[in-house]
Structure 1
């Protein structure tokens, strides 16, 4: 259950780190100048943003990425990103886009990243779709590893386990979304002891998921925190109690949303694809392509869970209280996979399958 005492990470050498601190376009020569900041303004209503596409660009020869999957902000205001390049699974930026640190381990499926502070220290929870959830310190020392759920009596040995996201409850309980596997959310104690499975596997019933890609603690009601779980292929979030009882579904037509991110009273999410056709059961469960001709934007919901802005997408429209289908409008993004929000409400967008690009900053206007 626990990881070995010795760390399995391998740091980049000092020279590589120094070189990686240069901020460069990934497809430019090392001597090329950084391009001018964009004048593009995107979004709707009170939530509009200036696009800084080159904000997080580094030298790919020293600090390469494959997919920039997710990002969180630590208690020091640093931006921590996870990806699936084992030379540097973790990139740590300051808010200007300067690289502060990077480390790589063995996480070929580095996908989900959550941060939890126990009152004294920040910890990272990394989901590797190769079959593990790992708790680490900010410098990569492994503290806890949760492997295949058959080890805890939750699955059969032949059941698929490809975790995509985790969330930490108010009492330290760990919730793991098996989004590319058997479509459950698994609840463990903070020490890694199994408690329960949440949901009823793959399907379209209330308690079932079509790609349980993300999970978060919705603490906007301080007296009654709940779980929000992504059902990406059915274009929705589903709300459960912390002990796994289904409550409601938040429908987002056309939007293949990734994990929900709570900041203040708003809910943010990256939209990996947008679809002009309705979901069909059993189709588009992981990486839909046939029915998603336009892809990628950010969606923002208010405290009533109404969409108020879609940066990069069509304006949200409600008719008789029902949300109309949402699609990409400006081709600024490709497969938005996550959104991180800083204290000034600027957004940092990570993208999947987007030509090995680094995070993009959206400056709040």
Structure 2
């Protein structure tokens, strides 16, 4: 389905731009969204005491563990925040760098993060409590494919432990492995036809449906930006929604899906896959979709290269921008009538 510009405009953030302010002037929260999907920003969330970004340049993802701690991946590694925005732990170094996408999963012996490392040409799995990497997923030579490049952008895990790794920056094949890392199959190819991908950039398990499906962000597909459903055996089901700009990732809570758009906004879909809110819309074409927006030019309530998001149990959203200075934001869900 194509979304009209009228519908998108209906739920744009309340503040699209604001005048420059002195560095020592307090930043006010900004209310955005509409209806049940109304949020307030939390100014300064995730910044160091001196006001600088705590994480360095970002091109990654966000997940939340069962204790409510927030994990975001950056060029340097993975940083762990408390709900009030303080860094409480980190996984840094070459083995954790450049994790483009993450999924978190509770398993019999603890919680694990699965990561797609685009620049390092692999998927990984590591234990949250120790940081121990227990699985590497390099390009599976047993697939019989001969690729010039392997550049994974997304990873997700089925209930039975099967792992899906999308080669979104290269071949656009999606590779399926069993829980031990054994190659099982692959599907998809690059192109603009209905059953092809033009940058299979983000992916998650769509738990809104039984049996579960893969919900895949086909970021550069024409008409630009769509979500598609495939079954867990790699068979095309349907085109879910088109005209989303450049959808980068998907995160699900209950019947709702948050979809960051690299051009500087985040849309929320309901169970019918209708857009019900648009957050952080950036009206400046020079900054919407730009990595090079330094912290001094950030505008509260306005996103730039929106890349990752995740919901906590209360329905709050954590959003990461693809950003040279490293930006992660907390959006607190509120009742627009004034009741929390």
TM-score interval (norm. to shorter)? 0.7 to 0.9
Q: What is the CA–CA distance in structure 2 between the aligned matches of 1:39 and 1:331, rounded to whole Å?
A: 8
- Cα deviation for residue 62 of structure 1 reads 9.8
Correspondence for 2:58 among 58, 67, 81 = 67
1:271 equivalent to 2:240? Answer no
Return the match for 2:118 from 124, 129, 134: 129
Tell me the SS of whatever aligns to 1:115: strand
Q: 1:231 aligns with which of 213, 218, 224?
A: 218
1:127 Cα deviation after fit: 1.2
Structure 1 residue runs without a partner (length 5+): 1-31, 274-295, 315-326
Displacement, 1:37?
5.2
Structure 1 residue 206, shift from structure 2 partner: 2.1
Could you tell me how far 1:97 is from its partner in structure 2?
A: 0.6
- TM-score, with normalisation over the residues of structure 2? 0.80
Deviations 1:19-54 (A, max 9, x none): xxxxxxxxxxxxx97x74523111123211111241
Deviations 1:239-295 (A, max 9, x none): 01110110111223142111111111101111112xxxxxxxxxxxxxxxxxxxxxx
1:162-241 alignment, distance < 5 Å: 162-199=151-188, 201-221=189-209, 223-234=210-221, 235-241=225-231
- The answer for the alignment partner of 1:345 in structure 2 is 315
Match of 2:274 among 306, 325, 345: 306
Offset at 1:155?
2.3
**Aligned runs of 1:236-315 on 2, under 5 Å?**
236-273=226-263, 296-313=264-281
Is 1:99 paired with 2:99?
no
Name 2:136's counterpart in structure 1. 145
Does the 8 Å CA contact 1:230/1:260 hold for their aligned counterparts?
A: yes
How far, CA to CA, are the matches of 2:172 and 2:160 in structure 1?
24
Structure 2 gap ranges (5+): 1-22, 283-287, 290-299, 335-340
Report whether the alignment pairs 1:335 with 2:305. Answer: yes
Distance of aligned partners of 1:340 and 1:254 in 2 relative to their CA distance in 1, 3 Å threshold: closer
TM-score, length-normalised on structure 1? 0.75
Partner secondary structure for residue 77 of structure 1:
coil
CA distance in 1, matches of 2:59, 2:28: 21
Q: Give the 3 Å change call, closer, same or farther, for CA 263–61 of structure 1 in structure 2.
A: closer
Give SS of 2:60's match: strand
- Does the 8 A contact of 1:57 with 1:357 survive in 2? no
Q: Which has the higher contact order (CA 8 A, sep 6+)?
A: 2
Change (3 A) 1:181 1:60: farther
**How many Å separate the matches in 1 of 2:32 and 2:240?**
24
User: What is the CA distance between 1:60 and its match in structure 2?
Assistant: 8.8
- Alpha-carbon distance, 1:66 to partner: 1.1
Question: In 2 relative to 1, CA 94–111 (structure 1 residues): closer, same or farther, beyond 3 Å?
Answer: same
Q: How far apart are the structure 2 equivalents of 1:309 and 1:242?
A: 29
Aligned counterparts of 2:329 and 2:201: Cα–Cα separation in 1: 21
Please tell me the root mean square deviation across aligned C-alpha atoms, in Å.
2.4
- Indicate conservation of the 8 Å contact 2:260/2:309, yes or no: yes
In the alignment, the residues of structure 2 paired with residue 61 and residue 270 of structure 1 have an alpha-carbon distance, to the nearest angstrom, of 24
Compared CA separation, residues 154 and 73, structure 1 to 2 (3 A): farther
1:174/1:189 contact within 8 Å kept: yes
